[in-house]
Amino acid sequence: MTKAPQTSAPKTSQSLPRRAEVPREQTWNLDKLFSGFEAWEKAFAQLPEESTLEREVESKYKGKLAGQPTLVADLFATRHTLRRRLMNLYVYAGLRNAEDVADAVSTNAQARIHARYATLMAPFAFVEPELLAAPQLQEWARAKPPSPLAPYTFELSELLREKEHVLGESEEKLLAKISPVFAQFGTIHSKWNNVDLKFPDAIDAGGAHHMLTHGRYGLLTVSPDRALRKSAWENLHAETAKSRSTVAANFHAHLLSGSLLAKARNYEGFRHSQLAPDDIPTSVYDTLVDTVRANLSTLQASLDVRREALGIDTVFPYDRRVSLHAQSHPRHFTFSEACALILESLSPLGEEYVALARSGLLEQAWVDWAENEGKRSGAFSWGTYDSNPVIHMTWTGTLDNVFTLAHELGHSMHTFLSNRAQPYHLASYTIFVAEVASTLNEALLADHILTREPTTELGKEVLSQTLEGFEGTVLRQVLFATFERDAAAKVDEAIPLGPDEFDALFLALNKEWYGAEGGGLPLVAHEWMRIPHFYSTFYVYKYATSYCASAALLEALKENPTAARGRVMGLLQAGGSKPPMDILRDAGVDFSTPAPVERAFQTYKRNVDRARAVFVDTRHS
């Protein structure tokens, strides 16, 4: 029997538990990395000292690589082995800090391993410049077995492609040593956003107070109580805006440092420097923005459906996520119920995929779904080559939670399958491909529910969620991507940006996307401040491309399940063994043209028309 849900967030009197008070079954198992910080400290102590490592590396390899393929292969293996040890330490510290970002032990460990990572990679700074000077490099990049360099041909060919952006040994060594500095802008934002930033209670239509946190904000903004949604949205953004000068200075410094580094490496600008390593042309990014802008009329049609279905005059930001299917008691999902539903939906990917996913969710404790004081906001999947992947999220029982779990499970399965199929140095995939795996899981879940029970309460709710998913993952993320592109371009041109300039740019884009009234509330201007992904630079556009790719793969799985399953498995097992555009082409999706985005908008338009028939026309019949 389904448990009766809460229709709103818990009252303020219900304080969050401390991490130590959380039931173990709601937490992940990180023992494959380390059993605790005592074991972590022992492994950290066993890392080589920088001076010792530098002497050993220089005496064995430096100045000796040309004409020595066996030595080059040995060098690659040595560097990969060290990086693998460092990543285990780095990821464990990061995962433990995500449990409670105010925890001093994990915060200290995170800072130490971040710094040590940089210092221990610095002695290898000569490698790329020396290899680029080797006359045999092009030959090595085409090596075949039994050459010792055969496993490293993709790595070598990528080095050749990026040749003009590799600096000299001394410059590379300096940049490697100071690289932790450039990560501090994101750390500063995280500490402000997750630790320092506190919000006043949200107040519902009856005057009751509701605790407002990052974790509960999503729940409050899907409440059928518009007064509560508005209060939560206004209180969060009004409190955020108080730090606008500080956050603007931090973000500008992030963009400026990225721009200066990009120019030092002979890139056209910050954006070019972030897309080029994955071999993504900037034209792909620009075509995405242009195609979305050309189809904003469909968003306006969807907003009209939402306005009529909700019976409101204007769709404001706090109205965009509430379900079009009004329910006095929306379904509450337990974690185990969500797992069962997700696993059913993944059957088109094959029995082995489902069995592996089931084991991770229900037997190996991949998921940390507890809510506790200090827990990092948002959701993510992470892991290393030597551990299983794990998922970080906060469970409140909403349908949105179910889709978030499916999304992050897609990432985790991608990691698991890539690690199993590829050697260490080819297992890591790029974000451009990563979000395809996650959004495909969401698409499969939505299609499963809409196919199985289209007219039920859940089916109608999922139809609403499908619209919101496209609008949040494609339209909204492309708005963010446009803001990020345009802000970075100004910084590249040495145009100083402060809070007024960032606010004006973000507000103008919201008016373009959502209309002068619906997108023009003054507090909208400050929303950019709280987006953590802006510090994972030029990341958000990949959500949109990935969503469009997953829509194409879903259609392929319906049309020819066996052939499409093979292509999807090829994508999930490819890791980083090819350029991401090639991996997607092999799966049947080509972003060198606007076609994947155009096709996704065709599906979106059909869903808008379907939503009008279900949520608007039935009210007038």
Secondary structure (DSSP) of 542-570: HHHHHHHHHHHHHHHHHH-HHHHHHHHHH
Which pLDDT score, from 0 to 100, does residue 329 have? 77
**Where are any strands of DSSP class E within 347-502?**
367-368, 380-382, 390-392
pLDDT tens digits along 581-600: 999 999 999 999 999 999 99
Distances (CA, A) of 400 to 198, 268, 302, 461, 477: 24, 40, 19, 10, 17
C-alpha–C-alpha distance, residues 290 and 478, integer Å = 10
Alpha-carbon distance of 493 to 269, in angstroms, equals 9
State the Cα–Cα distance between residues 234 and 227, nearest whole angstrom: 10
Secondary structure tally for the chain: helices H, strands E: 27, 5
Structure tokens at 565: 């399953």
The b/e string for 221-248 (b: 16+ C-beta within 10 A; e otherwise) is bbbebbebbbbbbbbbbebbbebbeebb
* Six token digits for residue 135: 């006359």
Beta strands in 87-219 (DSSP E): 202-203, 209-210
* Contact indicator for 552, 485 with CB cutoff of 8 Å: no
| DSSP-derived secondary structure letter, 429 | P
**Cα–Cα dist 373/12, whole Å:** 13
Structure tokens at 540: 């958000």
DSSP label of 431: H
pTM: 0.84
DSSP element (H, E) containing 159: helix 153-161
Catalytic residue, from 54, 99, 408, 435: name it. 408
SS3 at position 400: helix
Cβ atoms of 567 and 262 within 8 Å: the answer is: no
Residue 163 is classified by DSSP as G
For position 313, what pLDDT does the model report?
96
Q: Give a three-class secondary structure readout of 479-531.
A: HHHHHHHHHHHHHHCCCCCCHHHHHHHHHHHHHHHHCCCCCCCHHHHHHHHHC
pLDDT at 13: 41
- Of 99, 573, 162, nearest to 367 by C-alpha is 99
As a whole number of angstroms, the distance between CA 483 and CA 526 comes to: 12
Helix (H) or strand (E) holding 45, with range, is: helix 37-45
Tell me the one-letter amino acid at 508: A
| Residue ranges, the chain, pLDDT below 50 | 1-13
Rounded CA-CA distance 2/293 in Å is 42
The domain covering 21-185 belongs, at the CATH homologous superfamily level, to Oligopeptidase f, N-terminal domain (1.20.140.70)
Q: Extract the tokens encoding 487.
A: 């802000």
The Cα-based distances of 141 to 81, 126, 148, 603, 620 in angstroms read 21, 19, 12, 42, 67
To the nearest 10 degrees (0 to 180), the angle between helices 595-611 and 457-470 is 140
Active site residue 408: yes
Domain boundaries, the chain: 21-185, 335-458+555-595
